[in-house]
Homo-oligomer: A and B are copies of this chain.
C-alpha cells in the first residue's frame, strides 16, 4: 500500500494544540512504523486568535491564520482538529467541518455534552465522524474501550473519578488536613486548577464527561438539564474528619448505571467510599473509570486525565484512527513487526535491589563472613534480618536475610556462588528482586 499524506487543520494552538504538534514531530517516525508506512499525517494549517503571541512551540509561520474558516475550507486539510473549547465558535467549527465532509477530532466535552444531539445528527447526515477520545479522562482510552474493546458487552455500570482538580483538592483536605479554600489555592498555585475553576469545583466538568460516557454506553444523547450534579465547593472539613473517623474517603464520583428496565442512573456528586476500595487509591490529578460489563466483568482504567501530553496522546490517537479510515482499502490493520531485530539486554546486566535469604549454621562469625564477601564484591547492604525463632531458640539452622542495594544480576550471581561455597551455608541462597516501580 502506498503512503498517503493526510492534511490536518488545527483550530487552537494552546496547551493541547502545541502538544499535538510536538507529539507528531517527536514520534512521527514511530507512528509511521506502527501504521506500516501507509499514512503520513501533516499539519497544513493552524488557526489561532493572536498571530503575534509568543509561543514556546515553534511551527512554521506560514501555517498560521486567525481565520478558522480558512482552515476548514483549505483543500489540503482532510481532518479538522478542534481544540479551542467552549460551545459557540467550537460548534460552528465542528458543524462547518462536518458539512464539508471533513472528519473532526475534538477534546471538547462541554460542546458534545451540551450540543451533541445536533452535532451527532449532522455527523450521521454527512456520514462523517466526530472523534472525541480526549474529551473524557485525557490519556485513558475509555471512549475506544466502550466503542470497540467492549463492543460485545452490555455495560452495566461505570464509576468515574474524572475531574483531576476536584480529586486533588479532596485528597489534600484528607491527607494534609487543609480546608477547602486552602486546598483550592494550593491547586491553583501548582497549576492543577485554572484561574477560574468554576466548572471543575461545581461538578460540571465531570458531569459533561459522565453524560458522554452514558451516551457512548447506552446510545442516546442526554439533556444536561435532567442530570443531577453537585460539586465539591461546599465540602467542609467537618465532613472530611467524620469520613476519616468512619473509615471512608470522599471522592467526586460520576455514577452511570443501567437498570433492568433500560432506564439509566446518572449523577455526579462528592461521595463516601470505603477506604479499602481500589478507587480510594486514585490520588492527585489522576483519573479512573471502573466499569462492569456483562462479558468482561470488572475492569478499571487509570491514568492522567488532563495536561498537555496526556490530552495530546488522545488527540493523536483519534487523528491516526481517522487517517486509517481515509485509506481506500483498510489493508492490514493487524499488528506487524517493523524492525527486523532488536537487543534484549542480558539478564546478568539488569539491575535492581535484591532480597537474599541464606540458611546458615547458627555459629559465631557467620554474618561477618557473608558480609565480607558482599563487601569485597562492592555490593552494599541496606538491611538485614535474622530472627531467632522463639519456639525453637536452639535450632540448628538460622534464616539470614539481607536487603541489597542495586547491582547487576550477574555480579550478584557470582558473589552468591562464593557465599554458597561457605561451609556454614547449608542450601542454595534464595533471591528475589525488589522492584521500585
Interface string of A102-141 (1 = CB under 8 A from B): 0100000000000011001001100111111100001111
Q: In whole angstroms, how far apart are the Cα atoms of A26 and B412 in the complex?
A: 55
Say yes or no for A31: interface residue by CB 8 A criterion.
yes
Residues of B within 8 A of A120 (CB): 335-337
Q: Among the listed stretches A66-74, A175-183, A303-311, which one makes contact with chain B, having 4 or more residues with CB under 8 Å of it?
A: A303-311
Query: Secondary structure at chain A's binding surface: helix, strand, loop or mixed?
Result: mixed
- A31-B151 in contact given A295-B310, A297-B309, A304-B298 (Cβ < 8 Å): yes
Residues of B within 8 A of A100 (CB): none
Instruction: Judge whether B302 and A435 touch: CB under 8 Å.
Output: no
- A434-B272 in contact given A296-B304, A300-B303, A345-B259 (Cβ < 8 Å): yes
Instruction: Judge whether A303 and B310 touch: CB under 8 Å.
Output: no
Which residues 297-337 of A have a CB within 8 angstroms of B? 297-304, 307, 309-310, 312-314, 316-317, 320-322, 324-327, 330-337
Chain B nearest CB from A20 CB (Å) reads: 9
Contact among B248, B312, B335 with A216 in the assembled complex (CB-CB below 8 Å): B335
Instruction: Judge whether B304 and A299 touch: CB under 8 Å.
Output: yes
Residues of B within 8 A of A304 (CB): 296-299
Interface string of A17-33 (1 = CB under 8 A from B): 00100011011001101
Say yes or no for A63: interface residue by CB 8 A criterion.
no
Instruction: Judge whether A342 and B141 touch: CB under 8 Å.
Output: no
Chain B nearest CB from A215 CB (Å) reads: 6
Say yes or no for A90: interface residue by CB 8 A criterion.
no
Contact among B127, B218, B246 with A331 in the assembled complex (CB-CB below 8 Å): B127
Q: Among the listed stretches A51-59, A219-227, A361-369, which one makes contact with chain B, having 4 or more residues with CB under 8 Å of it?
A: A219-227
- A345-B269 in contact given A129-B334, A321-B333, A333-B129 (Cβ < 8 Å): no
Residues of B within 8 A of A148 (CB): 141, 144, 317, 320-321
Say yes or no for A190: interface residue by CB 8 A criterion.
no
Instruction: Judge whether B437 and A277 touch: CB under 8 Å.
Output: yes
- A245-B385 in contact given A269-B433, A312-B295 (Cβ < 8 Å): yes
Q: In whole angstroms, how far apart are the Cα atoms of A357 and B139 in the complex?
A: 38
